Amino acid sequence: MTSSAASAQVRRSLLVTLLGWLVILGSAALSVISFFSFLMILAGSYGTQNIELSGFLLVVVAPPASLVAGIGLLRRWRWAWLYLVLGLLLAIGWQVVELMRPPQPAVTTTTLPSGVKSTVYHSGPQFSAPLTAVLGGLLVFALTPGVRREFGIWRKSLPPPVPTSSPHAPKADTTAMENERGWRVGHRGRDCMFYEERISGVWERIDLSGEMLTGRAHHVIYFPTTSAWSKLPEWARDRREEIITRIKSEFREPDYEYANDVDVTAVSMVTGGSRPVMHAAPSGQRGGLLGMLLALLAVAAFMGWQAKGGFEEGQIRLPVSKGGLRRTVVREAEPALFWTCMGIHLVVGAGSLGLAAWLVVQGLKSRRHGGAS
């Protein structure tokens, strides 16, 4: 098996691709702030003399690094997955620390030895339950076996295919038994299985979707619904229960698990054909895709509402997470920074809307492709 064929067997999740684009979009917008913040630090502007290392890493270094990591998520680079998991862990840890911070008064006034009164404004804890829930959900999603396999994390090694001339090839009695009974089963690639039956001297095949597991059962087999099975050729169309029983007799529990009536498509082909077998997409991703679509639309609507308010009122909030830097930017006082903030809001909103439209188009294409099959 060539390396290209092996990599092609790893199904690329649409959610991972969408997450990569979201990271790229958000990091690109924040990198604009990083650039101007870096220039302010170099120029020694007011408020940057006492910047801490953590603030420098968060404001200046993290956005461009995340931009490169977003590209790595699209390319399925292993270090990008590690960067994502580490970033999510740090963000969740920061939320926990903020939750445990004792409350402070909004304003603290002290008198210095010189007699001058000093007033300090406290932003208060920055804990957000919805943000923590989103971060936790992304972390759980990134740690799922399917996502880890896409990035080559903890992937089980598979034995190379055994050529028929090899001394480890199936024994003659096994081949004779398969020829005598007229059917056989086997694995195709890492995840999927097949069922073959001799029809008029030709081995006909049905390919079934599956997935490698990491528990006691090392594979799960997805058996299609009755409606999907009815689209198979006549030799298998009305024999669903019989064929499934045969498959289970060879792929037995507890080494295998079964998922019945899954919305996947079984594909029939003649053994030895040159056409690759179509991978079937499970319907379990539909809820996640719908949730991501709604989240993108919500982000686009919020950013549009903020930009609209900025145009009408002539002021907008500086889009930074650090409480000490969060303030309102007035157009007449700081026009350059005002239009930079406006541009960030418009870019994020338009990008979210574009990603939502792309997600809808991909879903319609997938639906048409599944219907045509």
* Spans of all domains in the chain: 172-270
- pLDDT at residue 86 above 80? yes
CB-based contact 262:283 (threshold 8 Å) = yes
pLDDT band for 340, please (50, 70, 90 cuts). confident
pLDDT tens digits for range 203-255? 999 988 888 876 678 888 988 888 888 888 889 889 999 999 999 999 998 88
Confidence (pLDDT) at 51: 61
Q: What is the DSSP string of 313-349?
A: HSEEE---S-GGG--EEETTT-HHHHHHHHHHHHHHH
Q: Which helix (H) or strand (E) holds 261?
A: strand 256-262
Residue 130 CA neighbour count, 13 Å, CB half = 1
How many other C-beta atoms are found inside a 10 Å radius of the C-beta of residue 150? 20
Confidence (pLDDT) at 185: 93
Confidence (pLDDT) at 184: 92
pTM: 0.43
Task: Give every CB contact of residue 283 below 8 A, 6+ residues apart in sequence.
Answer: 262, 263, 264
pLDDT band for 47, please (50, 70, 90 cuts). low
**Class of residue 110 by CB neighbours under 10 A (exposed 0-12, middle 13-18, buried 19+):** exposed
pLDDT tens digits for range 343-358? 887 888 888 888 888 7
